[in-house]
Structure 1
Amino acid sequence: MTNFILHNATLHGAPADAVAIANGIITAVGPGVDLLRLATPDTHVIDCAGRVVIPGIVDDHCHLFATAARRRQVDCRPSATPDIPAVIAALRSAATTGDGWLRGYGYDDSPVGLGRHLNRRDLDAASTRRPTRVDHRSGHACVLNSAALAAVGVSRDTADPPGGSIVRDGNGEPTGLLLDMGGWLGERIGEPSDAKNTAYRADLKDLGRQLLSYGITAVTDAGPDNDAQRWQDFTDAVSDCLLPQRVTMMAGVNHLAELQSAGLSYGDSTCDGRLTLGHAKIMLTASSGRLTPNPAELAEIIAAAHAVGYPVAIHAVERDAIVASALALSDHPTPVGHDRIEHCAECPPDVAELVAQSGARAVLNTGFLHYDGERYRRTVPADLLPHLYPAGALAASGVSVELASDAPVVEPNPWAAMAAAITRRTAEGNPLGGAPVPSVAKALRMHTTGNRIAPGCPADLAVVEPNPFTSPPEVLPSVRALTTIVAGRAVYQRDRSRM
């Protein structure tokens, strides 16, 4: 039986105006006059009034629990707190209500933000009673006040953990700034973060609806510390429809044995196939001034993940990290699926060539160009600007490119990411240079990861307005879904009276 028919539509990539759906699969694409004959009294029929129907958008790299948690944290972004006194005032106000850990997010140490990193003394001025943590806009650094440092056991005698750095002053005392220590802190703070927690349930549900409003039908959580407990958290969230999307959870590379002991392997799924275990996530950073892990260690980690059946996804932002990733993946091709290089932020032509030779897919965050482009214009060397998140140039080099948000670092708006990819301009309209993605259609293909409107394909679709293919580029960030369909179910409708 046909469960769903969309008609009087402009179908992207299909020379027809109607699509029929049964049991979560697209069964027919063709003229509405023909497909409407398939309708029964139980068929849900939507007149799209000429609006565009697209394949469901995939956000293939984000951090779902962290993004949801932002809803209960203090906004320390430059737009909310433009200077250090404003950050202190916002935290001090929030500290007066409640107990336990106080969290803030989004501070920016660049010249267009605070001009320097926060330190423990700044946060002590906000509260000495509550342990306080403020995350950097990148998500790869945070600052703790004195109470928080004591709570997690950081002192002048504490050694840097593997892959992380405790920044110290000239006397060897911790300044409060911690680099790439999110996982280490998570093990010690012990705050509730599972989908059984009432606050997180509400936050995850709000996030799921926000993603649906953009037409996002599938997401990949790229947490480097994802383990068996996180798999259970996602199982709860997906089974309870807090996240209506199809969800892929990357596996933290240091947790593969634990996941295997829990009976889980790459590609395993649950919740009727809506939750899948994905790539092994590897963090390759240069925040300490050197690559961690070093190239030899990286090769060993990749080989070990491949040996137990996982392709890898390597976090690589800086040029040196991308080069090391590409060379290692060239020497150690995956026996299953495809390897990925995440971010590829600093990627001039010689580096792009290495990425192409590696055979890896590149997952880029062009939304950063939209939201953070003005900061890049002031802080990034002019000769590197055209090669930041170069989706167009990488695709022209033969690399398979996917777009993703990396939320919560920026908003998970795929249309802003596509606008930046095709214009290479900031949200304010200023040019960054570089090769653009040639069209909205090609940018959308990078953000739908193979989803198509064709018989036999999963019925993951979105009815959107305004028309993204005829609107000027500056309008693209405002495109929204009226209806979003996942596995043949209308899980989001913005305004029923308009459909």
Structure 2
Amino acid sequence: MKQQVLYTGGEIITLDAPARAVLTEGERILAVGNEAALRRMAGPDVREFPLKGQVMMPAFLDSHGHITAFAATLSLAPLGGAGSFAEIVSLLSKSAREHPQREWVIGFGYDHNVLKEGVHPDKELLDAAFPDRPVLISHASGHMGAANSEALHRMGITRDTPDPDGGKIGRGEDGGPNGYLEETAFTLYSQAAPAARPEKIVDDFKRAQQHYLSCGISTAQEGLARAGEMAVLADLAGKNLLTLDVVAYCDAGEGGEPLLPRSCGEKGKNRLRIGGYKVFLDGSPQARTAWLTQPYEGEESYRGYPVHTDAELEATVHRVCAQRAQLLAHCNGDAAADQLISAFERENRRCAVAPLRPVMIHAQTLRADQLDRMKPLGMIPSFFAAHLWYWGDVHRKNLGKRAFCISPLHDAAAREMHFTLHQDTPVLPPNMLETIWCAVNRISREGVSMGEAQRITPEQALRAVTLDAAYQYFEEREKGSITPGKRADFVLLDGNPLTVAPGDIRRLSVTGTILRGEMVSQA
């Protein structure tokens, strides 16, 4: 017989009907309501779960991230705290000493915007510290990085190597590569670095999964599942090592050629599910590679650039829609947004079958008129609202007045659209309370208000990481609210995000995570 559990003694945010108590049976929510009524309903062997003043609400869903990439970064030199070139070299040297068996020295997470030098590192810096070992470092965005001469040699990058479509190889005054790699030049050539040992990959994933669970997350995403990522996930699922639900999105292919579903393995097995496809359309606004309709501040004509031609994207959209699959599109600039919306509008005219909830990932510089075009398509904007805090001041320099309208959350809410919030892990840790705080307060690191008119309420932000995130995954009947019949997935907090001062939301802590009726993480 399935165990019944009665939750009482704390505040309960159901995002549905009001409740003072919750009764579950096994993996499911049996009933919500007042404590007396639920006690009468419960069986004789019901187990009591006293909340002791904690706040219980539906578990969070990560609407966009890269959990296998996050796991991989746990074994790399952590460069997120570096404030100068010297600190980057020091952190890389420390990692090299700690892992002498590794030939490559690899680091992740530097941000040129916060470095004292204000520019990206180059091969001269890395060559001086590591003349004989290949070195590769990734920007926090994952869209660019730098390599030393030995790594460039291993990658096959020479003076004569052309820029790949949708990317750039940094050049010195002599025309040779200077070590900087941007967009597809980085993502393609960095694959030359060796993968970790299989046992290390499993160990790192377990650590990553526990981090997600400690943040109150029930569902994680692998937002770009190539063959390597799918092999890792399939192996973990086959060994029953997934506690989280993981939804993977296959690489829609390079050069506009989508891959077939068979490349992604079997659907829905042991908490691993294939959600659809992912395509990149442009870069990042803080690196000035997002594709805009108007030039960046200080530029006469430079607007960033696209990854795909219109024809390539339309072919991808048509192939994905013909398979009745969902498409996620990385899309930061408003020109990239126009390209994506136009491709789906043409597909709608071409085909009588509506697309399956396409998602515009990041949607940073999305305009109000574009939201009006997205709504009839059922297109969901998934906003990277934490940019407002982490890179808001950089956006003011790069975008001018446009910066105060990035992540137009209020405009989406006013149109009664489904929209979600994410942290794009490993760009940022999967802290959903932080992204809620950013969406509600819209403040930059320098304390500048990043557009009060686009703020949303705490309840709207909570829905974006619960109910609307479940809707994005086609799981609104299973997850996202504390409703009878849905899964018993809960997060416990030490305070109520709906009633604390908006500025204090980020100070709240996750005290426990319950998935399928079982406690899987506890502070």
TM-score by length of 2: 0.85
> What does 1:102-251 align with in structure 2 at a 5 Å threshold?
102-110=105-113, 114-181=117-184, 182-185=186-189, 187-192=191-196, 197-223=198-224, 226-238=225-237, 240=239, 242-251=241-250
Q: Which residue of 1 aligns with 2:398?
A: 380
Contact 2:82 2:115 in 1 (8 A): no
Instruction: Answer yes or no: is 1:282 the counterpart of 2:279.
Output: yes
Task: Give the 3 Å change call, closer, same or farther, for CA 135–227 of structure 1 in structure 2.
Answer: closer
Q: Which residue of 2 aligns with 1:497?
A: none
1:113 positional shift: 5.4
Q: Which residue of 1 aligns with 2:24?
A: 21
> What does 1:28-427 align with in structure 2 at a 5 Å threshold?
28-37=31-40, 43-77=46-80, 80-97=81-98, 98=100, 99-110=102-113, 114-181=117-184, 182-185=186-189, 187-192=191-196, 197-223=198-224, 226-238=225-237, 240=239, 242-254=241-253, 257-260=259-262, 264=266, 268-271=267-270, 274-285=271-282, 287=289, 289-333=304-348, 335=354, 337-377=356-396, 379-426=397-444
Contact 2:331 2:362 in 1 (8 A): yes
* Deviation larger for 35-44 or 327-336: 35-44
Q: Aligned with 2:169: secondary structure?
A: strand
Task: Give the 3 Å change call, closer, same or farther, for CA 130–261 of structure 1 in structure 2.
Answer: closer
1:400 positional shift: 1.9
1:299 positional shift: 1.0
State the Cα deviation string for residues 259-297 of structure 1 (Å, max 9, x = none).
Answer: 326764xxx3110xx211012101111539431201222
State the Cα deviation string for residues 416-475 of structure 1 (Å, max 9, x = none).
Answer: 111111111135643111434432111000011241111111211112112211111222
Q: Aligned with 2:330: secondary structure?
A: strand
Q: Aligned with 2:150: secondary structure?
A: helix
Contact 2:320 2:327 in 1 (8 A): yes
Q: Residue type of the partner of 1:433?
A: G
State the Cα deviation string for residues 127-172 of structure 1 (Å, max 9, x = none).
Answer: 1222111111211001111111111211112233343322222332
Contact 1:437 1:443 in 2 (8 A): no
Q: Residue type of the partner of 2:400?
A: A
Task: Give the 3 Å change call, closer, same or farther, for CA 7–111 of structure 1 in structure 2.
Answer: closer
Contact 1:54 1:453 in 2 (8 A): yes
Contact 2:282 2:307 in 1 (8 A): yes
State the Cα deviation string for residues 98-118 of structure 1 (Å, max 9, x = none).
Answer: 131111122222366531111
State the Cα deviation string for residues 461-491 of structure 1 (Å, max 9, x = none).
Answer: 1121122111112221122222211122221
* Deviation larger for 92-101 or 60-69: 92-101
Instruction: Answer yes or no: is 1:484 the counterpart of 2:503.
Output: no
Structure 2 distance, partners of 1:262, 1:349, is: 36
Contact 2:8 2:51 in 1 (8 A): yes
Structure 1 distance, partners of 2:145, 2:115, is: 18
Contact 2:155 2:190 in 1 (8 A): no
Task: Give the 3 Å change call, closer, same or farther, for CA 21–483 of structure 1 in structure 2.
Answer: same
* Deviation larger for 236-245 or 438-447: 236-245
Q: Residue type of the partner of 1:285?
A: D
Task: Give the 3 Å change call, closer, same or farther, for CA 430–263 of structure 1 in structure 2.
Answer: closer
Structure 1 distance, partners of 2:309, 2:107, is: 32
Work out the number of aligned pairs and report it. Answer: 481
Q: Which residue of 2 aligns with 1:454?
A: 483
Q: Residue type of the partner of 1:184?
A: L
Q: Residue type of the partner of 2:269?
A: T
Structure 1 distance, partners of 2:386, 2:485, is: 32
* Deviation larger for 399-408 or 229-238: 229-238
Contact 1:368 1:417 in 2 (8 A): no
Contact 1:390 1:434 in 2 (8 A): no
Q: Residue type of the partner of 2:495?
A: P
Q: Residue type of the partner of 1:260?
A: R
Structure 2 distance, partners of 1:112, 1:390, is: 29
Q: Aligned with 1:305: secondary structure?
A: helix
- Unpaired runs of at least 5, structure 2: 284-288, 292-303, 471-479
Structure 1 distance, partners of 2:86, 2:191, is: 31
Structure 2 distance, partners of 1:91, 1:229, is: 25
* Deviation larger for 61-70 or 252-261: 252-261
Contact 1:57 1:217 in 2 (8 A): yes
TM-score by length of 1: 0.89
Q: What is the percent sequence identity of the aligned residues?
A: 26
Contact 1:227 1:258 in 2 (8 A): no
Contact 1:227 1:259 in 2 (8 A): no
Structure 1 distance, partners of 2:79, 2:192, is: 23
Contact 1:8 1:47 in 2 (8 A): yes
Q: Residue type of the partner of 1:27?
A: L
Task: Give the 3 Å change call, closer, same or farther, for CA 74–446 of structure 1 in structure 2.
Answer: same
Contact 1:2 1:38 in 2 (8 A): no
Task: Give the 3 Å change call, closer, same or farther, for CA 262–139 of structure 1 in structure 2.
Answer: closer
Q: Aligned with 1:270: secondary structure?
A: coil
Which of 448, 460, 466 pairs up with 2:495?
466
Task: Give the 3 Å change call, closer, same or farther, for CA 21–428 of structure 1 in structure 2.
Answer: farther
Contact 1:373 1:427 in 2 (8 A): yes
* Deviation larger for 348-357 or 119-128: 348-357
Q: Residue type of the partner of 1:235?
A: A
* Deviation larger for 287-296 or 436-445: 287-296
Structure 1 distance, partners of 2:521, 2:156, is: 45
Q: Aligned with 2:39: secondary structure?
A: helix
Q: Residue type of the partner of 1:314?
A: A
Task: Give the 3 Å change call, closer, same or farther, for CA 67–263 of structure 1 in structure 2.
Answer: closer
- Unpaired runs of at least 5, structure 1: 495-499
Q: Residue type of the partner of 1:122?
A: L
State the Cα deviation string for residues 295-346 of structure 1 (Å, max 9, x = none).
Answer: 2221111111212232211111112111211221222246452111110111
Q: Which residue of 1 aligns with 2:476?
A: none
Task: Give the 3 Å change call, closer, same or farther, for CA 474–262 of structure 1 in structure 2.
Answer: closer
Structure 1 distance, partners of 2:171, 2:326, is: 37
Q: Residue type of the partner of 1:457?
A: K
